[in-house]
Amino acid sequence: MSTKTSQSIYQQFQERVGLGQIGLYLALGGLLAFYLLPIQSGLVTSIKTSEALIATQPFAPPGPDGVTLEKWEFAFSTLSHGLVNSLLFTIPATILCAILGSLAAYGLTLVKWRGQVFVFVLFIAGIFIPYQAVVVPLTQLWSQYITLEAWFGLVLTARSATLIELIITHTAYGIPICTLLFRAQYKTMSWEMIEAAKLDGASTWKIYKRIVLPLSIPMFAVVFIFQFTQIWNEFLFSLTLIGSVSDPAASATLILSGLGEALEGTDYPLRMAGAFITALPTLVVYLLFADKFAKGVQV
Amino acid sequence: MKDIFSYLYKVYKKRQVRTDGGVTEETAVNNSWRQLPIVQSFPFWGPPFILMGFFVYAAVTWNFALSLTEFSGFGDPDYSNLGLQNYATMIQDPTFWQATWHTVILLVVFTVACLIIGLALAILLDREIRYGNTFRTIYLLPFALSFIVTAQFWRWMYNVNDGIVNQFVGLVGLGPYNWLGDPRLVLGSVIFALVWQFSGYTMIIYLAALRSIPRDQYEAARIDGANTLRMYRRVIIPQLKPAMVSASVVLMLFALKAFDFLYAVFDGYRPRQGADILATMMMREGFNNSEWAYSSTIAITLFVLSLGVIAPYLYTEYKRGNL
């Protein structure tokens, strides 16, 4: 009796799910493990004591007596001012390049003029520029020619001067991708509505403020999410413009790159804890707004 | 002061009247350039363009000028005596050719691997799947992380004694290998980690393209009796070509500038022997050795290589009217 029912359940199951389905979910699950394994291993390692690190497998959680939050505490105390600095330049730069990108996309899409495409191509090519090709002049620029600290020494500390340099730099290099993202949306916008507004005598600026801007709010969300993670994760400008890990303006990624270097050998649990603390803001933003991030990637 | 304002206001008023009322010849000329779309739109795209243009195009030009100097060490570059000597040094430098060779391997293997794995992921996910969005989110997760963060994870993964990778190969009786120390393995190890981080990106690009293919094409292929493999090869994959091209452009350009990951994985400007690419060599010559002019020379090489990737792409996009 019981075997009969279980058999029929199995048959039903097979009919409904099918062997192909099982294979599909196995493949998807295996891939899930592949993508999560380095992260998972990092997470369990970050809470291990040095004894547990030796005693347990790298992917296995430690036993109850092998757990310590010491590494997290030390990593946080080392990284905390870096996290503040990163936020201080990431947020303004994100907002600025979103606004400028939206304005540029509007000027290059909804107001038609000849030669538009050429200017747009110059914007697009700016997305793909290898930063290596500008980084030497950039350090020259900020150390020899535009010396904010010397000019505004009365109101700016060395730290805030460096942060402003980073804001301007990140804004400038973020504009191209933001322009591309906004333009992709503006190209699909209803042309008639804007023509109608024009006939009613609305100025170019008014059309932007009253029609285009409200309609671009979803795209602003995409750009904020995407640019925030991009600028937060960035390393090359931090390394070259800030210069040293001990600088008061050092960003989170810069401090992480040298975390625990003075200690003997690499302290893996400390490194893992530091990696998670540094990644936390982007991780939260990504997991909350994964769809928007994916949209930002797609264009 | 007040006079100026009242004058400006009058002029403004007049202009408003003029646009509504009769137009004299003078104002027609006056208005015509004001009404030009390029002038009207300049306040919008102009300021971002100037800021971006200065930091991108002026900086690249400046970099080229620097590559013609003898600038090194402390002090200021001397722009009075320019020459191509750094380029001559570069093409005789064995380190440069080695770095170029590694860059080429990285670029080709990394791009191809990401395209294939991304395609497989996209095809798996392009159907009715429970928790399909969760799978997609997790496959793309590494791409949202900083290279400095993922480099920490992979240092641990590749650890000689305790790393998971060595445990895996140990299961089939191989190893342990020094993945990041052995010159024969190191570039492959780096590529593997980067593919882990980027394949989710290619998946997203393919997925968007797959979802834009009308469903009835799948049905039609089925009715014609094509099996799944054949259907994908003959009907679906050819339609993914534009997505493949734009993804490869992004991947190749990334491969040219990949520096962060290598810096973090090797704790500095000098990657282990066998993993030095142009991007790391450029940064080392400048920011470690203070050979600024030589560093700029390699930077210009990287720029030209990137241009070689991006220019044909933008040109065909322009020809197709996609810009």
Residues B302 and B173 in one domain: yes
Residues B195 and B289 in one domain: yes
pLDDT in tens, B111-158: 999 999 999 999 888 887 888 888 999 999 999 999 999 999 999 999
Residues B160 and B276 in one domain: yes
User: Chain B: nearest CA to A45, how far in angstroms?
Assistant: 9
CATH code at A70-298: 1.10.3720.10
Estimate to the nearest angstrom the gap between the alpha carbon of B179 and the chain centroid.
26
In a domain, B64, yes or no: no
CATH of the domain at B165: 1.10.3720.10
In a domain, B89, yes or no: no
In a domain, B259, yes or no: yes
CB contact under 8 A, A24 and B144: no
Residue ranges of chain A that CATH labels 1.10.3720.10 = 70-298
Between A280-289, B167-176, B272-281, the lowest mean confidence (pLDDT) is in: B167-176
Residues B11 and B111 in one domain: no
Selected residue of B39, B42, B55, B121 to mutate for chain A interface (largest A Cβ count, 10 A): B55
Q: For position A4, what pLDDT does the model report?
A: 47
CB contact under 8 A, A272 and B152: yes
More confident residue, B220 or B3: B220
| Residue A113: exposure state from Cβ atoms within 10 A (0-12, 13-18, ≥19) | middle
Strand partners, A48: A67
Looking at residues B194-211, what average pLDDT do you find? 92
Tell me the two tokens of residue A102. Answer: 């939206």
Amino acid identity of residue A162, one-letter, is: T
Q: Taking a C-beta distance cutoff of 8 angstroms, is the pair A39, B153 a contact?
A: yes
Give the domain range for residue B16.
1-25
Q: For position B148, what pLDDT does the model report?
A: 93
pLDDT in tens, B71-111: 888 878 888 888 899 899 999 999 999 999 999 999 999 99
Between A16-20, A134-138, B45-49, B185-189, the lowest mean confidence (pLDDT) is in: A16-20
Selected residue of B34, B41, B160 to mutate for chain A interface (largest A Cβ count, 10 A): B41
Q: Which of A179, A257, A291 sits opposite B264 (nearest CB)?
A: A257
In a domain, B263, yes or no: yes
Looking at residues B178-203, what average pLDDT do you find? 92
In a domain, B114, yes or no: yes
* Residues in contact with B76: Cβ distance below 8 Å, sequence separation at least 6, in sequence order: A144
* Residues in contact with A134: Cβ distance below 8 Å, sequence separation at least 6, in sequence order: B55, B56, B59, B60, B63, B299
In a domain, B153, yes or no: yes
**A173 contacts in B (CB within 8 Å)?**
52, 55-56
Q: For position B168, what pLDDT does the model report?
A: 87
Q: Does residue B25 register a pLDDT over 60? A: no
CB contact under 8 A, B310 and A290: no
Q: For position B196, what pLDDT does the model report?
A: 95
CB contact under 8 A, A275 and B302: no
User: Chain B: nearest CA to A108, how far in angstroms?
Assistant: 7
Enumerate residue ranges in chain A where pLDDT < 70: 1-19, 262-264, 299
Q: ipTM of the assembly?
A: 0.87
CB contact under 8 A, B146 and A282: yes
Q: For position B317, what pLDDT does the model report?
A: 85
Residues B4 and B144 in one domain: no
| 3-state secondary structure string across B44-61 | HHHHHHHHHHHHHHHHHH
User: Chain A: nearest CA to B86, how far in angstroms?
Assistant: 15
**B148 contacts in A (CB within 8 Å)?**
233, 235, 253, 256-257, 275, 278
Q: Taking a C-beta distance cutoff of 8 angstroms, is the pair A148, A98 a contact?
A: no
Residue A62 vs residues A40, A76, A274, B94, B156: alpha-carbon distances, Å: 13, 21, 19, 48, 16
Selected residue of A132, A253, A259 to mutate for chain B interface (largest B Cβ count, 10 A): A132
Q: Taking a C-beta distance cutoff of 8 angstroms, is the pair B147, A233 a contact?
A: yes
Q: For position B19, what pLDDT does the model report?
A: 47
In a domain, B246, yes or no: yes
How many domains in chain B?
Answer: 2
Q: For position A299, what pLDDT does the model report?
A: 67
Query: If you ran DSSP here, which 8-state letter would residue B77 be given?
Result: -
Residues B288 and B176 in one domain: yes
B248-286 CB burial, b ≥16 within 10 A, e <16:
bbbbbbbbbbbbbbbbbbbeebebbebbbbbbbbbbbbb
In a domain, B41, yes or no: no
Mean pLDDT score of chain B: 85
Q: For position B61, what pLDDT does the model report?
A: 93
Between A147-151, A175-179, B247-251, B263-267, the lowest mean confidence (pLDDT) is in: A147-151
Estimate to the nearest angstrom the gap between the alpha carbon of A35 and the chain centroid.
18
